[in-house]
Amino acid sequence: MSVDLSDPSRAASSDLRNHPSVQREQGLARQLGVRQQAMLAVGGAIGTGLFLGSGLSVARAGPGVIISYVLAAVIALLLGFALTEMCVAHPTAGSFGVYAEMYLSPFAGYAVRLSYWMMQVVSTGGHMVAVSIYMQYWFPRVPGAVWVVGFSLLLVWLNARAVGVYGELEYWFVMIKVVAVVVFIMLGLGLLLGWTGKPAIGFRHFTADGGFFPMGLTGVWLACSFVIYSFIGVEVVAVTSGEAVNPERTIPRAMIRMILGLSAIYITTVVVLVGIMPWKDAGAGESPFVTVLGRTGILGAAGLMNFVVLTAALSAANANLYLVARTLFSLARAGFVPESVGRVNDRGTPVNALVTSSLGLALAVLVRWLWRDSAYVWFLGVALFGALLVWIMIFVVHLAFRRAWERVDRAPLPFRSPVGRAGSVVGVLLVGAILVTTWWVPGLRSTLLAAGPWIAVLAVGYGFLRPKNEGAEPVAPPIPGPAGAATK
C-alpha cells in the first residue's frame, strides 16, 4: 500500500510531515536545545579524526593538507544544508534512514540505517583503540585492552542516563576539547610569531621539504580520504532532531553553527599544526598535538594535551554510542529488528538499543589485542566506507525529497537549502570520487575492500529481516512520474 501523491485530494490528506514512518518513532524525550545539539555534533566530529588522524593526512599531503580541509568543509556544508532541509520537515531520530525509506524504498531505508549503525559501531571501536594509545603515554606497560574495557563500561553507563543529563554532560566534555584546541591555536601562533619569549619559528615549515605541495595536487586529493573522516559526525544534528525541543528553530541554527564553527576550528588548527611541526614528522604513532607540545619545552604541556586528546576520543565515542542507539531504535520501530530493542525506559532512553550497540566496544578489544600496531587505521578504513556510503545516500535522498515535495507542491519548505538540488549533485560527485580514491591511499584499501562484504551483509540481512516488516504502515510515498502517475 502506498500514498498516491499525484492525486491532490489524496495529497491533502497525507501530509508528508505526519507520515507513518515518522510517527512510529515517537517516544523519545524532547530535551535537547540548540546549544546541546550543536555540541553533540561537535563532540561526534572532533575526536580521533583531528587529534590522531590529522597526522596521517599531513604525512600524505604536507602543508597542502590545508586545501584538503577546505574542500572537506565545503562538502560538509553541502551535506548540512541537505540534512537541515529534510530534518526540519521530518524531525525524527531515524532521520536520513527514515527519509530514504519514505522517498526511495524500504530497502534503501534499511540499508542506510544499518550501514550507519555498523559504521558508527566500528568507529566507536576505533575511538576506543585511540583511547588505549593515549593511555600508553602514561602507562606503557598496561595492556591497551584494559583501557578499552574500563572506559567502555563508563560510556555505556553515561549513555543510559536521561538524554537531557547526557546532553549536558557531553556539552561540557566537548567544551574541554574546544577550549584546548583554542589554547593550542593561541600557543601555536605564539610559537610561530615569537610571542612566547622563544625565537619565532616563522613560516618556514610551509615551504620547506618540497614546498607547499610536496606531494603535488595528487597528495592534496589523496589526503581528503583522511580529512573527510574528521567531519564524519556532522550528521549528529539530524539524529538529535528526534529529541529536539523546537526542531524548526533549533535544527537550522545548530547545524549551520556547528559546521561553520567546526570548519573554522579544523582549518585554523591544521594551519598552526603544519606551521610549527615539519610535515615529515607526522604519522599515527601518537597525536601530532602531543608531539608538537612535547617539543616546546613547556613543562607538562605534552601531558596536558594528551589528557585533552584522551577526553576528545572519549567524547567522540560517547557521541557515537548515542548515535548507534538511536539508529538501532529506528530499525526496531521500522520492524527490522525485534520490537523489544526499540523500547524506551521511563526516562525516554532506548537502553536496549544502547546495550546491543555496545558490540563495537567488544570488537575494539579484540582488534586491539590481535593487531596492536595497525588497529586504528583498520578501524578508520572500514568505518570510512560506511560513512561515505551514507553521505552519498543522504545527497541522493535529498534529491528525491526535493522532487517529491516540489511536484506535490503542498506548502513552502519550513527550511530551504540555499544551494538547492545542485548542492546535492556536487556532493554526490565529490564524495563518490573520494570513496574511489581510497584504493590508492596507503592504509585505506580496507575502505573499498569492505564494500563487497558490507553489501553482502545488507542484502542477506534484508532477506532475513524483511518478513518482520511486512504488514507495516506504508513507508514509501511514491515520487510522481513525468506523466503524473505515481511510481513505486
CB 318 within 8 A of CB 155: yes
Sorted by sequence, the CB contacts under 8 Å of residue 306 that are 6+ apart come out as: 134, 137, 138, 287, 290
Which CATH code is given to the segment(s) 29-339+347-461? 1.20.1740.10
Q: Where in 21-133 does DSSP place strands (E)?
A: none
Which pLDDT tens digit goes with each residue over 169-214? 777 777 777 787 788 788 888 888 887 777 788 888 888 888 899 9
Q: Residue 112: name the closest of 470, 338, 353, 394 by CA.
A: 394
Which pLDDT tens digit goes with each residue over 407-453? 765 667 888 899 999 999 999 999 999 999 999 887 788 788 888 88
pLDDT at 452: 85
Element (H, E) at 238: helix 236-240
Q: Residue 259: name the closest of 76, 96, 54 by CA.
A: 76
Say whether pLDDT at 82 is over 90.
yes
How would residue 6 be classed by pLDDT, with cut points 50, 70 and 90? very low
Which pLDDT tens digit goes with each residue over 391-410? 999 999 999 999 888 776 56
What does DSSP assign to residue 474?
P
Among the ranges given (264-278, 307-321, 389-403), the one the predictor scored with the smallest mean pLDDT: 307-321
Q: Which phi and psi (to 5°) does residue 32 adopt?
A: -100, 130
pLDDT at 483: 34
- Cα–chain-centroid distance for residue 169? 19
pLDDT at 1: 32
Output the nine-digit C-alpha cell for 482: 513525468
State the amino acid at position 380 in one-letter form. L
Q: Residue 159: name the closest of 34, 338, 359, 315 by CA.
A: 315
The residue assigned the cell 537550522 is 252
Which pLDDT tens digit goes with each residue over 378-387? 666 777 888 8
What is the model's pTM? 0.77
Q: What is the mean pLDDT of the chain?
A: 75
pLDDT at 480: 35
The residue assigned the cell 485530494 is 9
Among the ranges given (68-72, 236-240, 311-315), the one the predictor scored with the smallest mean pLDDT: 236-240
Sorted by sequence, the CB contacts under 8 Å of residue 449 that are 6+ apart come out as: 381
